[in-house]
Structure 1
Amino acid sequence: MIELKEVPQENQEKIKNFCDVNNIPFDGSAISHVVLDGSNILGVSQLKVENGIAEIMTIFVKEEFRNMGFGDGLLKMQINYCYRNSISFIKVKKGLNDNFFKRVGFVEEGEYLVLDVQAFYANLKCQQ
């Protein structure tokens, strides 16, 4: 069974190992989300919050599991985390797959792409 979930700070060792094996930067103080198939990690994302602004450090899905919506799921978990914790803006450095972020609503601002979290939720349209 596939699940996406936040990883508690005290359980970050498995995330660190996954990042090391896949040559992805890891930040032990970041908020981590994972895509799991049983105990196997298929993807990971990390979000760092400083001064009320969140920065996406990593969104990575193993190559054989890409184009299945897992990256979108990880990004939406990060956006939801910010919404629940009253964090108004999320930024990501340009060059980290810009079209992926622009498709969701991130806009260019200097060297970053930025998302207004409240506007993201206000603009959601439910289909009937």
Structure 2
Amino acid sequence: MIELKEVPQENQEKVKIFCDVNNIPFDGGAISHIVLDGSNVLGISQLKVENGIAEILIIFVKKEFRNMGFGDGLLKMQINYCYRNSISFIKVKKGINDRFFRRVGFVEEGEYLVLDVQAFYTNLKCKQ
């Protein structure tokens, strides 16, 4: 069974091991989300919040599990985290898969792509 969930701060070891094995940066102070298939980690994301603005540090899914919606799920968990915690804006450095972020509604602002969290939920079109 596939699960996407937030990783409590005290349980970040699994995220750190995944990052080390896949040679990607890890921030012990970031908010982490994880995609699990049983005990197998398929992907992770990390979000750093400073001064009321969130920055996406990484969204990474193992190559063999890409194009299955896990990256979208991790991004939506980050957006939802910000919404629930009254964080108005999320930014990500340009050059980190810009097309992926623009597809969701991120817009260019200097060296970042930025998403207005409230506008994202206001403009969300649900299919009936």
TM bin (shorter chain)? over 0.9
TM-score by length of 1: 0.99
Give TM-score scaled by structure 2 length.
0.99
Number of the residue aligned with 1:87: 87
Measured after TM superposition, the shift of residue 96 of structure 1 is 0.3
Structure 1: where are the runs of 5+ without partners? none
Cα distance in 2, alignment partners of residues 17 and 26 from structure 1: 9
Q: Does 1:102 find its partner at 2:102?
A: yes
SS in structure 2 opposite 1:103? helix
Show structure 2 runs of 5+ residues with no match. Answer: none
Q: CA RMSD in A?
A: 0.4
1:102 counterpart letter in structure 2 = R
Q: Hey, what does 1:73 align to over in structure 2?
A: 73
Runs of 4+ in 1 over 4 A off after TM superposition: none
Match of 2:41 in 1: 41
- Measured in 1, the distance between the counterparts of 2:33 and 2:5 equals 5
Aligned residues: 128
Cα distance in 2 between the residues matched to 1:30 and 1:71: 18
Partner of 1:57: 57
% same residue:
89
Q: What corresponds to 2:125 in structure 1?
A: 125
- Confirm whether residue 6 of structure 1 aligns to residue 22 of structure 2: no
Aligned-pair CA distance for 1:31: 0.1
Letter in 1 for 2:64: E
CA distance in 2, matches of 1:101, 1:127: 21
**What is the identity, as a one-letter code, of the residue corresponding to 2:112?**
Y
